[in-house]
Amino acid sequence: MAEAEITFSYGEGEDIFHSFSFSAAEGEHVLLLAPPGSGKTTLARIITGSVPAYSGGSLSGFVSVCGRDILSLPVPERMEYAGRVSQNSDEMMLFSCVEEEILFPLANLGLAEDEIERRLSSVLALLGLEKYRKVPSSELSGGEKRRLMLAILFAVDPALYILDESFDELSPSWRRKLAGMIHTSPRSILVLGSHELGEYSGVFDRVISIEDGKAGEYRRTELKRLEYRKSLESEHVLDVSSLSIERRHRSTGGSGFTLSVPSFSLRSGECAVLMGENGSGKSSFSRVLSGLLEEKSGSVMLDGRVLSPRERRRSAAVLMQNPYEELFLPTVGDELESTGAAASLIEAALSMFSLEREWYTAEISYGRAKLLQAALFYLLRRPFAVFDEFDSSLPYEESQAAVRAFLESGSGVIVITHDEAFAASLPGKRWEITEGVLHEC
Amino acid sequence: MNADSYIYGTSFYHRFDVRPKLLFTLLYIIAVFFAESWYGIAGIVLLPLLISLSSVGAAETLRAIRRILPILILLFVFLPLQRRDGTPALVFSGTVIATEEGIYAVIRTAARFTALSMILMLLLMTSRNESIIAGLRFYHLSYNASIILSVMLRFIPYLGSVFSCIRDSMSLRLTEGKRGFPIFPSVTAFIVSAVRMIPDTASALEERGFGRKGRTEYRRLENGRWLLTEFALSAILPLIMLIIFR
């Protein structure tokens, strides 16, 4: 049904894939688990066509779907054969509202108007997006954007679905729903991931990996519990009191959400885990803590003193959900040097987060971009840091290593995650947002 | 290209049909280039400003102005230096920094840039993208050209949102005792992001079937009872400006 054997390299560089072979029978569901930088996203892009068309590179081999070598087809003609949900939802957004994003590819397929309307209504209901019909993607949360991307794929319904880290950023309930959708789908589905999730259980027919550019066997690693290595210090205390945050949808005039935080406290070197549904206000809370978003009322205090938004920026780092919202400079070296840290510390951070100074920021994988983001804020040594869904697109051990590095440097860390297994592996209190209120579990 | 532009509203300009609105926008852009007098320069900025205040309110108008502010600052800093002939207006240690003619030129250029940006932003803030595409199709533009044009129209607001992201990102990196944000890394970052957006958008369009033949036309604009009046207003207003403000 779907079969591929490819060799690919970007420019003059090393082969990303060397006779990489892959196949999926009709209705077969395959899980490909591999670390960041191994070529998962490149594989997805090769199949759908944006690589090498928009990136350059040398590609040989074939990708056959329904008996047709789709590499010989122009990019727009491949959409009936293979479609993907991108790891970075933002790069795929084009239009001014959810409805338009879905209608665009359906109209391009040349479907009858009533079939377009039927598919639109069906996927909006399937992915819980009816109330966002006229809302632009820029006003959606990370998980809602991911659901929109899934809605587009399910609406187009190609022969081969490619889901690039699509479970990440979804809340546990939506992860379970997506697992159910895959399980019952008659289509061939390839899911790309960086770590094994509990929700994958019983969904896939096969699990494969990438090793040195070839298809390999996946080796399971056990998720260990992260413990505090040193006793908790109380150098600084971050307190939040009677905080209220409100966001409105500019495009519809309707309310987006309101979040109330009656009380929240975190000490230096302490870890806190924060969970909640998509769009419940977790990212907005982190932006308020770091002074990037204004609260409606309430206060954020450091050691008992109320902080202005400017002071918060130097007290609380935020590792945003999409790393590319924080990385803009040409190379990894440029990014790290912008912190003003000493050369020896930059070298240490490069080694700690497995990064190369010369790498171009725009060319590194999404997972590595997250590690760069961590290295950047690690060098800034803020008293507190918020990891906003940092674990998505990264193996558990790398996410844990980053959290540990911050804790051991004395920072208090808030980890926002949808992954129950990862949350359970972290020390410290657990907080949750339910019905618009943040409370301790 | 994840830029928010449309703002919900029921104002006069929101209700204005997109077809005459596109005509008005085009004619206004032409009229802007004929404004030479001081009245004209003030007028071309004031009109979109007033429409903006009445349709999206003061906060959103300010937000729109803040988006173009970096470019306006660059204009005011560098443009007078290029026009050295004329009556000296600003002299430092015997060197002419700016002439009266240079100052007039920069004010005129800044006003034109502001007027153009504001009228285009107003179109995007008060019309949904799909309406704009349908409006462009009314003028017999091909579907592909309409899509490309609508994407291009959103490029300025997109760059504005990129600049906000960069500013936020840089402000989170400031070390103790430093204020503001570093200009040169931010400008570098801005250029890198703007260039990166082009292949990203192109591949997103193509992967979703842009350029395929046999596309379904599924959006049709309805003719409201004021359509003819709105067309007439869209043609007359820029014409009056052209006559008065020259």
Q: Are B27 and B123 in contact (CB under 8 A)?
A: no
Cα separation, A182 vs A240, whole angstroms: 41
Smallest Cβ–Cβ distance between A313 and the set B2, B130, B172 belongs to B172
Q: Would you mind telling me the total number of residues written for chain B in this entry?
A: 246
* Nearest one of A140, A97, A139 to A120, comparing CA atoms: A97
Residues of B in contact with A95 (CB under 8 A): 129-130
Q: Are A60 and A6 in contact (CB under 8 A)?
A: yes
Residue in chain B nearest A313 by alpha carbon: B172
Task: Note the pLDDT of residue B135.
Answer: 92
Taking an 8 Å cut-off on Cβ atoms, the answer to whether B216 and A116 are in contact is yes
Which amino acid type is present at position A163? L
Q: Does B184 touch chain A (CB under 8 A)?
A: no
The residues that bridge with A214 in the sheet, in sequence order, are A211
* Nearest one of A387, A392, A361 to A374, comparing CA atoms: A387
Of the pLDDT bands very low, low, confident and very high (cuts 50, 70, 90), residue A308 is very high
Of the pLDDT bands very low, low, confident and very high (cuts 50, 70, 90), residue B97 is confident
Strands (DSSP E) found in A279-394? 297-302, 305-306, 316-319, 384-388
Taking an 8 Å cut-off on Cβ atoms, the answer to whether B211 and A327 are in contact is no
Of the pLDDT bands very low, low, confident and very high (cuts 50, 70, 90), residue A384 is very high
Token pair 């001014």 in the structure block, residue = A96
Tokens of A405: 């590095």
Higher pLDDT, A437 or B169: A437
Q: What is the mean pLDDT of residues A416-432?
A: 95
> Does pLDDT of A425 surpass 90?
yes
Task: Note the pLDDT of residue B179.
Answer: 59
Token pair 């208090």 in the structure block, residue = A412
Cα separation, A292 vs A428, whole angstroms: 26
**DSSP class per residue in A6-20:** EEEESTTS-EEEEEE
Task: Note the pLDDT of residue B12.
Answer: 93
- A and B: number of Cβ contacts within 8 A: 168
Question: Which B residues, 126 through 165, put their C-beta within 8 Å of a C-beta on chain A?
Answer: 128-130, 151, 161, 165
Which amino acid type is present at position A119? R
Cα separation, A277 vs A175, whole angstroms: 11
CB atoms inside a 10 Å sphere around CB B215: 17
Tokens of B19: 């077809």
Question: Which A residues, 231 through 290, put their C-beta within 8 Å of a C-beta on chain B?
Answer: 249-254, 290
Question: Which A residues, 2 through 21, put their C-beta within 8 Å of a C-beta on chain B?
Answer: none
Tokens of B151: 């994407």
Q: What is the mean pLDDT of residues A220-240?
A: 83
Query: ipTM of this model?
Result: 0.86
Residues of A in contact with B8 (CB under 8 A): 249-254
Q: What is the 3-state secondary structure (H, E, C) of A169-199?
A: CCCHHHHHHHHHHHHHCCCEEEEEECCCCHH
Q: Does A113 touch chain B (CB under 8 A)?
A: yes
Q: Are A78 and A70 in contact (CB under 8 A)?
A: yes
* Nearest one of A39, A40, A46 to A69, comparing CA atoms: A46
Task: Note the pLDDT of residue A325.
Answer: 85
Residue A441 Cα, gap to closest chain B Cα (Å): 30
Cα separation, B124 vs B242, whole angstroms: 24
Smallest Cβ–Cβ distance between A314 and the set B176, B192, B217 belongs to B176
Q: Does B72 touch chain A (CB under 8 A)?
A: no
Cα separation, B70 vs B68, whole angstroms: 6
> Does pLDDT of B4 surpass 80?
no
* Nearest one of A343, A424, A338 to A373, comparing CA atoms: A338
Cα separation, B227 vs B135, whole angstroms: 13
* Nearest one of A129, A150, A156, A151 to A140, comparing CA atoms: A129
* Nearest one of A386, A375, A369 to A327, comparing CA atoms: A369
Residue in chain B nearest A385 by alpha carbon: B172
Tokens of A21: 């072979």
Q: Does A83 touch chain B (CB under 8 A)?
A: yes
Cα separation, B152 vs B19, whole angstroms: 18
Taking an 8 Å cut-off on Cβ atoms, the answer to whether B173 and A380 are in contact is yes
Task: Note the pLDDT of residue B7.
Answer: 86
Q: What is the mean pLDDT of residues B192-216?
A: 87
Residue B30 Cα, gap to closest chain A Cα (Å): 27
Taking an 8 Å cut-off on Cβ atoms, the answer to whether B209 and A338 are in contact is no
Residues of B in contact with A254 (CB under 8 A): 8
Q: Does A49 touch chain B (CB under 8 A)?
A: yes
Burial of A137 (0-12, 13-18, 19+ CB in 10 A): buried
Q: pLDDT tens digits, residue range A118-161?
A: 999 999 999 999 999 988 888 888 899 999 999 999 999 999 99
What residue spans of A329-395 are helical by DSSP H?
Answer: 332-337, 343-352, 366-380
Cα separation, B204 vs A143, whole angstroms: 19
Whole-model pTM above 0.80? yes
Q: pLDDT tens digits, residue range B129-179?
A: 888 988 999 999 988 898 888 888 877 677 777 877 888 888 888 766 565
**Radius of gyration (C-alpha) of chain B in whole angstroms:** 21
Find which of A300-304, B5-9, B164-168 is predicted with most confidence, using mean pLDDT.
A300-304
Q: Does B205 touch chain A (CB under 8 A)?
A: yes
Find which of A154-158, A321-325, B98-102 is predicted with most confidence, using mean pLDDT.
A154-158
* Phi, psi for residue B121 in degrees, rounded to 5: -65, -35
Taking an 8 Å cut-off on Cβ atoms, the answer to whether B190 and A328 are in contact is yes
Smallest Cβ–Cβ distance between B2 and the set A48, A107, A138 belongs to A138
Q: What is the mean pLDDT of residues A249-267?
A: 84
Q: Are A107 and A130 in contact (CB under 8 A)?
A: no
Cα separation, B115 vs B121, whole angstroms: 10
Q: Note the Cα A423 to chain centre separation in Å.
A: 16
Higher pLDDT, B8 or A43: A43
Reduced to 3 states (helix: H, G, I; strand: E, B; else coil), residue A310 is helix
Q: Does A209 touch chain B (CB under 8 A)?
A: no
Cα separation, A120 vs A103, whole angstroms: 7
Residues of A in contact with B161 (CB under 8 A): 138
Residues of B in contact with A252 (CB under 8 A): 8
Does CATH number 3.40.50.300 belong to domain A237-440?
yes
Q: What is the b/e burial string over A232-271, where b = at least 16 CB atoms within 10 angstroms of the residue's CB? A: eeeebbbbbeebebebebbbbeeebbebbbeebebbbbbb
Task: Note the pLDDT of residue A367.
Answer: 92
Token pair 């795929």 in the structure block, residue = A92
Domain ranges of chain A: 2-217, 237-440
Residue A166 Cα, gap to closest chain B Cα (Å): 17
Please tell me what DSSP assigns to residue A92: G
CATH assignment of A2-217, among 3.40.50.460, 3.40.50.2300, 3.40.50.300, 3.40.718.10:
3.40.50.300
> Does pLDDT of A372 surpass 90?
yes
Of the pLDDT bands very low, low, confident and very high (cuts 50, 70, 90), residue B47 is very high
